[in-house]
Amino acid sequence: MEKLELTREWDKTFPQSNRVEHTKITFLNRYGITLAADLYRPAGAQEPLAAIAVCGPYGAVKEQVSGLYAQTLAERGFLTIAFAPSFCGESGGTPRNLTSPEISTDDFSAAVDYLLTRDDVDPRRIGIVGICGWGGFALNAAANDPRIRATVTSTMYDMSRVNANGYFDAMTPDDRYRLREQLNDLRTEEYRSGTCSRDGGVVDPLPEDAPLFVRQYHDYYKTPRGYHRRSPNSNDDLNRLNALAFINMPILCYAGEIRSAVLMIHGEKAHSRYFSEDVFKRLTGDNKELLIVPGACHVDLYDNLDAIPFDRMEEFFHRTFGDVLP
């Protein structure tokens, strides 16, 4: 296992809770990449616990949104881990700042591998939470991994759809071909130079004509509210060639075959709402729920504790796991 340099001080974008025990852990995915995670355990908990692995948003790190979700769920009695994706943050893997339809999905199953080795985890009660682009990876993992008993997505993006079709499916096949030409020309340049170029992060400073959702991203990633020095979105962003794999590899082809429970959460005012609504129509079974949060935009579900429906998430996990509800 690769030896990682893990920060020991508290460097999250949210305050530390005194109701939770926090430790750093590492685990391997199926590709031999060492992932770094923050583990949150309810203080004083004794019996085997239901466990939840959390990741996202796309281009974020575990010190941001996923850590807030994980710590809050731990306050509610779950053992949780928030992990940095392969190639990003404190996790290993090269080239840096890469994403992959397969590897990013496998990171969730690798987290389940790790949780199943812990004596304080009940193997019958393991769930996952995917936020933003990692909501799509979470659904893909749930379709492929029956060990995942419950899945929550929050403010979900379908990264295959948005890369192949653009926002609101505005791209044509010709647009897509031109994008492939540009990306593969860049691939040639990068191979010759031995470099990996980056997308540039959330635009800063904001142009006057920036769309509202771009302004909302800026308000989170580029201000003290959510900035983190290891976050791709807060800095130079992800590898520019990441889009190549997603254009031709739709990750939600088998979403309709998910048999385990799913709760999809999205903001009423989110520009990305259509991703959740459209995927939800493809889910089958009476254990699937779509919750639209009134008045919330996309990034409200990153850190706005008045908007994130943690009560509903807690109830969903307990009910799915067969726990006795308080």
Average pLDDT over residues 47-53: 95
Summarised one tens digit per residue, pLDDT across range 194-230 is: 999 998 889 889 999 999 999 999 999 999 999 999 9
Among candidates 4, 27, 2, which has minimal Cα distance to 106? 27
On whether the CB atoms of residues 153 and 262 are closer than 8 A, the answer is yes
Q: Taking each helix axis as running N to C, give the angle between helix 65-75 and helix 310-321, from 0 to 180 degrees, rounded to the nearest 10.
A: 60
Above 80 in pLDDT, residue 326? no
C-alpha–C-alpha distance, residues 130 and 53, integer Å: 9
Dihedral of CA 62/67/73/79: which sign?
Answer: positive
Q: Give the mean model confidence (pLDDT) for residues 226-244.
A: 94
Side chain identity, residue 195: T
Indicate the CATH number of 20-166+250-321 among 3.30.460.20, 3.90.1570.10, 3.40.1280.10, 3.40.50.1820.
3.40.50.1820
Contact call for residues 24 and 37 (beta carbons, < 8 A): yes
pLDDT at residue number 135: 98
Q: Are 175 and 190 in contact (CB under 8 A)?
A: no
Which residue, 153, 114, 135, 134, is CA-closest to 35? 114
Instruction: Note the pTM of the prediction, 2 decimals.
Output: 0.96
Q: How confident is the model at residue 324, as a pLDDT?
A: 62
pLDDT, tens digit, 9 for 90 and up, residues 108-135: 999 999 999 999 999 999 999 999 999 9
Residue with more model confidence, 201 or 20: 20
Question: How is the chain split into domains, by residue range?
Answer: 20-166+250-321
Percent of the chain with pLDDT over 70: 99
Question: Pick from 93, 94, 95: which is nearest to 110 by CA?
Answer: 93
Task: Give me the DSSP letters along 108-148.
Answer: HHHHHHHHHT-TTEEEEEEEEEEETHHHHHHHHHHHH-TT-
Q: Residues 160-171: what's their mean pLDDT?
A: 97
- CA–CA separation, 276 vs 154, rounded Å? 9
Say which amino acid occupies 159: M
CB 141: neighbour CB atoms within 10 A? 28
The total number of residues shown for the chain amounts to 326
Rounded to whole angstroms, the Cα distance separating 230 from 112 reads 24
